[in-house]
Structure 1
Amino acid sequence: MIDTISTTTEKLIEICADKDGARKNVIAAFDARTATGTNYHRKHPASRVVEVNEDFEALLKEEPPVEFSGEEAMGRYLDMHELFYLYINSKFGAPIEYSAFCDTSAQLEKISRRQKFSKQYREYLDKLLVYLLYFFERTEPLQDLYRILSKIESEFEERWTNNLMESWKQGVKKMGKILSSIP
């Protein structure tokens, strides 16, 4: 056991001797970084050191703003009442129950093409899009919404140029017949 202690001691003495100068370089680099920080604080004496806990404590004391309506239940549900009233009071809508509207509001292909070109329908779609984007931003604040939207838009453009939009194919044929019958 004494032999082990003595060999370990000899190894430690060799390491502390710093024959290759590596330890001296590490200490010199540390001193240079310290000098940089010291010089900065000499030039900017008014800069204050902020305790991290101060900021967090202040944030914890603040009440978070309520960003959701009661119907949205802190982001678990959509509040589609305003859009529902727009839908049932429009020419393209039908008098249905709110629950049925929630089930069918994403099925835009059920609305006739003629009604889709109306001003009311465009306003409805604009409000629907604004609400859904705002809801997404509140429920998924860390998601990159604009990256997601650009991906969706590029997929749509690809499907449109390749004529893969099934609901529009039938309408294009009908429109071609109508346009060809006009003198």
Structure 2
Amino acid sequence: MVHLNALKQRHPKATTDHPSQDPATLDHNKHKLGLLPPTKVHSSFSSLKTIAFAWSLFVGFLALLVLINYQLHYALPTPVYDAVDPTTGRVQFSEERVRAIVRHMSHDIGYRVVGTAQELETKEYLVKELANLKEEARIANLRSHETLPQFDVWVQVGDGSHRFDFMSKGK
């Protein structure tokens, strides 16, 4: 039989039977000696508080990402009111000009039902506006030393006839 003092020298904490010693330390020492069955070792991520905190950070990040994407998707550019860029002197797209054209088409001309006089008036008005824009672009091209883009206007004329190809036969 092994003497008690020899055990104390090898495992001084395991053999102490002081009532002042912590019970958790005694259980730990018993596990070391193999007197108790092994228990599950807990990591720092297994606590419910840590898991809830990690999920709240993740959900918060996703919410922030959704908010930023929503703002970027629905953000409108600043409107341009001047027909001529004040810094370069070039003709530019103007919100006021577009509003004037749409206002004339909706208030002055009215409904544009196919085959009515309003439809013909709208076509003539838009062709006139495009011709004015083309002339302004030509003049701006002559004034500048750079080659600016030019554009052509093509107006499709409908005659009311249609061609239907049905099973390789024209009707």
Q: Per chain length, whose mean CA-contact separation is higher, i.e. which structure has more relative contact order (CA < 8 Å, sep 6+)?
A: 1
TM-score by length of 1: 0.27
Please state which structure has a larger fraction of its residues in helix.
1
TM-score, normalising length from structure 2? Answer: 0.28
